[in-house]
Amino acid sequence: AQKITQTQPGMFVQEKEAVTLDCTYDTSDQSYGLFWYKQPSSGEMIFLIYQGSYDEQNATEGRYSLNFQKARKSANLVISASQLGDSAMYFCAMRERERDDKIIFGKGTRLHILP
Amino acid sequence: NAGVTQTPKFQVLKTGQSMTLQCAQDMNHEYMSWYRQDPGMGLRLIHYSVGAGITDQGEVPNGYNVSRSTTEDFPLRLLSAAPSQTSVYFCASRGLNYGYTFGSGTRLTVV
> Cα(first)–Cα(last) distance of chain A, in Å?
38
Taking CA atoms, what residue in A is nearest to B43?
A: A105
Taking CA atoms, what residue in B is nearest to A36?
A: B99
Over the stretch B26-41, which tens digit does the pLDDT of each residue have?
999 999 999 999 988 8
Among A85, A81, A87, A90, which Cα is nearest to A112's?
A87
Instruction: Please identify every stretch of chain A with a pLDDT value under 50, giving residue numbers as ranges.
Output: none
* Residue-wise DSSP of A6-25: ---SEEEEETTS-EEE--EE
Over the stretch B59-110, which tens digit does the pLDDT of each residue have?
899 999 999 999 999 999 999 999 999 999 999 998 766 678 999 999 999 9
A vs B, Cβ pairs < 8 A, gives 53
Q: Do the chains contact at A45 and B50, CB–CB below 8 Å?
A: no
